[in-house]
Structure 1
Amino acid sequence: MPTMPKSLFWARTDTAGAEHALLDDRDGLTARGVAVAVDPIPCTCRYQLTTGPDWTVRRLEVEAEGAGWQRSVRLEPAGDRWRVTTSEQGDLDAALRAAGHPPAGPPGTDEPDRLADAVDVDLGGSPLFNTLPVRRLRLASAAADTTHRITVAWVLVPSLAVVPAEQVYTALGAGRVRFTSGTFTTDLDVDPDGWVSRYPGLAERVPGR
């Protein structure tokens, strides 16, 4: 496994948790990351992400694990659709019910055709994945009010269910990008390379990482 020249670290601000990503963005993006969080139940989430030079996704592999359960999902574009492969061990739904949460259902999707319009992927709770459209659409240096509406394949955590989601990214200038999904809106602080330094209500980059 090759070493990576960059390291980014975020502390969660909505719950106890953190994310550490190792990456190479010299020709597209290759990234390996680990995220931990205690809500809705304590779990560890590991991912491997590869894009092309234009920052379109080539493959995403995610593994999530907690007490008594483990799940994985792999997403790969295959022509005009996405190939979605999953595995599951143990009983995540039992762990969620024991913690007072509703069941999550199975990982992946039973209807991959619903993802046909997705170009980017998004991983729940991870600020790294907001950089994919920011870099692909050059929003960090775009004129203020430049707006793009996109569809993403959104991987929910901890279930690893995959659903289509419409998102809107708007350049605000001065290192800020507005992110909107449904009724949710927040203004992301991004560095000159498009990496999120502050995601209000979710995470902040640890200085020097």
Structure 2
Amino acid sequence: MTLLPHALVWRRTDTTGGEYAGYDDRDGLTAHGYAFAAAPVAYACRYELSADSRWASSRLDVTVEGPGFLRTLKMERASGRWRITTSERGNLNAVLPTAPLAGTEEPERLADALDVDLYASPLTNTLPIRRLNLLGRPAGTSSTITAAWVLLPSLAVVPSEQTYTVLGDGQIRYASGTFSADLTLDEGGYVVTYPGLADR
């Protein structure tokens, strides 16, 4: 595993849980992380994430495990298309009957997704913020993207329309559907406070 020069740690505020992310952002992003949560079922995950020099996501590998189950997801973007593979051991549905299958049966719906969004991970909010250079934009600037949203603990991947609006003073509003949150960011574009979800 590559040694990474920086690290961040978040505490979940909506449930018992947290996230550690080691990263190198000198040329795009290389990150390794670990996250755990007590709900909707106890799980832990580890991930490896890469984004190119333009901060467009290029690869995400995730392994998630919990009582009686282990799932893996590998996503790679090349030539404008995502290639997604999954595996499963045990039975997540035995402890979470509503959990969907890992991956997606319609990868073409992710064609416009340049960003991955790992469920409840503050780190992945940084990807579109840096890719769109929102930190340097005036208040009121707004961009809407399609992200490849990776649900936990199922590892299902769904397209998610998300809007980021610059508020000024280190804050950006994230909105998707009827949900919105005003994120407080540090000078690198990494989340300090995500109301209702996490802080550090």
* Bucket of the pairwise TM-score, normalised by the shorter protein: over 0.9
Cα deviation per residue 1:38-59 (whole Å; 9 max; x = unaligned)? 0001100111001111101110
Match of 2:95, SS state, is: helix
TM-score, normalised via structure 1 length: 0.94
SS in 2 for 1:44: strand
Aligned to 1:178: 173
Runs of 5+ consecutive residues of structure 1 not aligned to the other structure: 97-101
- Counterpart residue type for residue 162 of structure 1: V
TM-score calculated relative to the size of structure 2: 0.98
The one-letter amino acid paired with 2:187 is P
SS of residue matched to 2:40: coil
Corresponding residue for residue 186 of structure 2: 191
1:147 paired residue number:
142
**Which residues of structure 2 form unaligned runs of 5+?**
none
Return the alpha-carbon distance in structure 1 between the equivalents of residues 99 and 2 of structure 2. 35
Q: Where do 4+ consecutive residues of structure 1 move more than 6 Å?
A: none
- Give the paired residue count: 200
SS at 2:41 equivalent: coil
User: What amino acid sits opposite 1:122 in the alignment?
Assistant: D
Q: Is the CA contact 1:45–1:63 (under 8 Å) kept in the aligned structure 2?
A: yes
Indicate the residue corresponding to 1:127 in structure 2.
122
Distance in 1 (CA, whole Å) between partners of 2:81 and 2:58 is 12
Match of 1:201 among 172, 196, 199: 196
> In structure 1, what is the Cα distance between the partners aligned to 2:136 and 2:182?
15
2:59 counterpart residue number: 59
State the alpha-carbon separation in 2 of the partners of residues 80 and 56 from structure 1: 11
Matches within 5 A, 1:53-92: 53-92=53-92
Identity of aligned residues (%): 56
Letter in 1 for 2:192: S
- State the superposition RMSD in angstroms: 0.8
**Is 1:109 aligned with 2:104?**
yes
1:105-154 deviation digits (Å, cap 9, x = unpaired): 21000111111111101000100000001111111221101100000000
